[in-house]
Amino acid sequence: MIDILAITFPIYVALALGYLVVWKGWFSPGDMRVLGRYVLNIALPALIFSAVAARSPVEVFQPGYVVVYALGGLATVVLSYLLFTLRGTDPKRRALGVMGSTCPNNAFVGYPIMLLALPDQAGIILALNLLVENLLLVPVCLILVELAGKGVDQPLLPRLRRILLDLAKMPMLIGLALGLVVSIFGIALPGPLMRSIDMFAVSAGAVALIVIGGSLVGLPLHGNRSLAAQISASKLLLHPALVALVAAVLLALGLITLPPALHSAVILSAAMPMFGIYTVLAQRQGLEGAASLAMLTGTSCAFVTLTGLLWVLT
C-alpha cells in the first residue's frame, strides 16, 4: 500500500498546492486559465509528439487498447443515459450527466499518474486515450448536449459541424498526427529540435495538476447534490467497471491481445475524474452548479478510488 500511496499522494499534493496558491491569492483564477492554455496548446502536444515520434508504429498503435477503451466508453454512454433517464432527469441535465460520466481527465490528471505508475509507457497511453476521447467519446457527448438544446441558438447541423472542426484543430491531435508521420516514415529529426520539444513536454505533468487544483477554487457549489453525486459515482466507478468488463470479455473470447501493463492502464484511464472543461460546457447550459459539485466531488473522491484501484491492479 505504501508503494501505491507513493503514486497517488504526490498527485494530490500538487492539486492541493494549486488550490492553495489560488485560495491565498498568490495566483488568480485567470492565471490558471493561462497556464491551462499553455498545457493544452504547448506542453501536451509536445509530449504526445515526442512519445509517438520516438517509437515505431507497432509500438504506438495498440488496437486491443483502443477497442477496449472505445467500447467501454460507449457502454458507459448508453448505461449512464439509461440510469439518468430512469431517474427522471430532464434532457439537458441528462446530457450533462452522461458527459461527466464518460469523459475523463487523462490530459491533466491521468498522465501524471501514469508517469509515476507506468513511466515508460505514459506518453503512449496518453496518446491512445486522447485519440479515443477526442475522436469518439467527446464528440458523442457533445452531440447529446447539442441535441438536448436543439433549437436554442441555431440549426443542429451547423453546430455539429462546428464541433468536429474545433476538435480537428486541437493542438494535441495535431501533435499526435505529426508524431505519427515521423514514426511511420522514420524521419530522423535533429537532436536539438527533439531536446527543445522534450523540454516543453516534461513540464506538462506538474503544471497540469497545479491548474486543476487552482481551478477548484471558487466553483459555484449550489445545485442538485444528488445529481452531482450520481455523476461522480458513474465517472469513478461505473466507467472503469464497464471498461474492465469489456476487456475481460474480449480477452476471454480471444478477440484481442492486451499486455498486462496496458490492461491496467486502460482501466485506470477510465477511472479518472471528469475532464477540466466540464464546468465550462455546463455553464453554457446554465448547469454550472451541479457540474461544479460533481467535479469537486469526483476529483476529491478519486484519491480513494484511484488508490484502491492501483492496489488491485498492481
Question: 35: which 3 cell numbers?
Answer: 497556464
Please check whether residue 100 is in contact with residue 233, taking contact to mean a CB–CB distance below 8 angstroms: no
* CATH code 1.20.1530.20 for 2-313: yes
Q: What is the pLDDT of residue 1?
A: 66
Backbone angles phi, psi at 274, to 5 degrees: -60, 155
Q: Are 271 and 239 in contact (CB under 8 A)?
A: yes
Which residues pair with residue 104 across a beta bridge? 274
pLDDT in the model for residue 212: 84
Is the distance from CB of 265 to CB of 118 less than 8 angstroms? yes
Residue 43: other Cβ atoms inside 10 A: 23
Whether the CB-CB separation of 20 and 214 falls below 8 Å is answered with no
The residue whose grid cell reads 498546492 is: 17
Q: Which residue has the cell 461522480?
A: 232
How many other C-beta atoms lie within 10 A of the C-beta of residue 210? 25
Write down the pTM of the prediction: 0.86
Determine the 3-state secondary structure of 259 from DSSP. coil
Q: What distance, in Å, lies between the first and last C-alpha atoms of the chain?
A: 10
How many CB atoms are closer than 10 A to CB 300? Answer: 14
61-70 in b/e burial notation, b at 16+ Cβ within 10 A? bbebbbbbbb
CB of 208 closer than 8 Å to CB of 111: yes
Helix axes 2-23, 204-215, angle to 10 degrees: 60
pLDDT in tens, the chain (314 residues): 677 878 888 888 988 999 999 999 999 988 988 988 898 889 889 988 988 888 888 778 899 999 999 999 999 999 999 999 998 888 888 999 999 999 998 888 888 899 888 998 998 998 899 889 888 898 888 888 877 765 555 666 776 777 777 777 888 888 888 988 998 888 888 888 999 998 998 888 888 889 888 888 877 666 677 888 999 999 999 999 999 999 999 999 999 999 999 999 999 999 999 987 787 677 767 777 778 888 888 989 999 999 999 998 87
Pairs from 148-153 (Cβ < 8 Å, separation ≥ 24) = 148/91, 148/92, 148/94, 148/95, 148/285, 149/92, 149/285
d(CA 39, CA 211): 9
CB atoms within 10 A of CB 264: 21
pLDDT value, residue 220? 66
- The predicted structure's pLDDT at residue 63: 94
Q: What pLDDT is stored for residue 152 in this prediction?
A: 52
What one-letter code names the amino acid at 278? Y
3-state SS class at 274: strand
